[in-house]
Chain A
């Protein structure tokens, strides 16, 4: 029902680092309402691709268009939420409360001077409510468990009501129960708000349960299609080299 609106357009993107080819000719489109898993072995360029899409790295070739604007000129960062991989390696003594961390997400929608006002409190409360963390808003972020911290980072990423959310292995080191609750929450945001999600993961359980698109990367894009196409793809089975057994039906 959301799939008519292209949000992210990646065209023939290549990237090299110190003479090594990291990405080669990667192209795909992410639409409103997509929940896409970006999978691939370690060192396959998944994080690099996300960093290029977000303008943190410049591609050596190709282009990225975000919501109709070239990434170089893009200025609607409040429409994009990002939870980086290193969010799971937070300094436990960093003196920021949960509320303060979520408030940082509001800066992308503000002009100079970027100050948080009393009017912003409602948005912060709403975002914390969505991830079920409102009761811990005055806690220091480092005091929370890994799963709770990830929910706070999601709240920071969605506090502006973005159209797309990028997550880089968001549940690394998180226990099984929190892991399941976390992905249920993402699926709900995707279903109810039409939030497009691009998720780097090594977890094939997530792919079988929640996502509707899969992109398989190993320097180049081996596969990009629906969950069903992914399950029947020979290229993907070859890439996995029998390391994983996929159960491709939804409960």
Chain B
């Protein structure tokens, strides 16, 4: 006799499309959150936003050339990430200026190509706003492989990325190949943005990179702790967002990002409370604690 579907979760997970959405959403959110900690601390949070705009150009190019848009977006995003780095280095531009130039050119290219292809249609709407509920098994596998590649690269180069993020000049003097690692970080970000596009869409993908990381940084006391908290928050946001979207019939992308925003607010308030001289518990090592150390 088949088990009865009693709980709301049972009902939810009885749908194959929801199983795929949970799996892909969790994996991709986790990847974004872990990489996001590095990006936020490197003051590179906007690179996700910029590459997302470029990704629109890649999707449009794919539609125009009848090539899988996600693969084309991946190629364009990786090349653009490297282009941003080169522009910063060769033209001596500030990072946000280089991101602004490349991202608006990518977006402009996308608008022209979409117009030329006559494809202002539902497909494009899905890329802009995300539609994880429509993710197919091949895309789940692709997400799994790409997420695994990004997480493996972060694990292998973890110490070097931390050093680069903390103090790139000292990292260089320690023999860390700063330029190569910058390029690798850019490429990983590009891959992650393309992955995130499927979950929340081009317009909101930078939120997956920035918000869980920013929330974790309100309370984390070590780098590993920041990554763990960020990953946990992103996973919970993806889970809660999908459940809420299913039962309330809300768009999943907006719901996931909004829940991330609520987590950020909670963690920000926790930090404020911990620092408050009244009512709050003093965090070990806070300014008042340092007075006790006599320094």
Contact = CB atoms under 8 A, between A and B. Distances in A.
Nearest to A98: B222
Contact of A95 (B158, B163, B220, B285): B220
Given A96-B223, A114-B159, A145-B290, A107 B174 contact: yes
B166 A94 contact: yes
A95 B216 CA distance: 9
B286 A108 contact: no
A84 B160 contact: no
A88 to B, nearest CB: 12
A97 B166 CA distance: 12
Interface in A85-118: 86-87, 91, 93-97, 100-101, 103-105, 107-108, 113-116
A94 B295 contact: no
A143 B295 contact: no
Interface string B159-195: 1101100110111111110000000000000000000
B256 interface: no
Nearest to B172: A56
A144 B221 contact: no
B222 A97 contact: yes
A107 B286 contact: no
B222 A114 contact: no
Given A97-B222, A114-B160, A140-B222, A86 B169 contact: yes
B174 A56 contact: no
B285 A140 contact: yes
Interface residues of B, number: 35
B285 A56 contact: no
A149 to B, nearest CB: 10
A55 B166 contact: no
B226 interface: yes
A89 to B, nearest CB: 11
B156 interface: yes
A82 B173 contact: yes
A28 interface: no
Q: In this complex, which of A93, A94, A96 has the most chain B Cβ atoms within 10 angstroms of its Cβ? A: A96
A87 B174 CA distance: 15
5 contacts: A78-B174, A91-B41, A95-B226, A104-B171, A144-B285
Closest 6 CB pairs of A and B: A143-B285, A108-B174, A77-B175, A145-B295, A95-B220, A95-B226
Given A104-B162, A114-B160, 16 more contacts: A80-B173, A84-B167, A86-B167, A87-B170, A91-B41, A95-B217, A95-B221, A95-B222, A96-B223, A100-B224, A104-B167, A104-B174, A107-B160, A116-B159, A140-B221, A145-B293
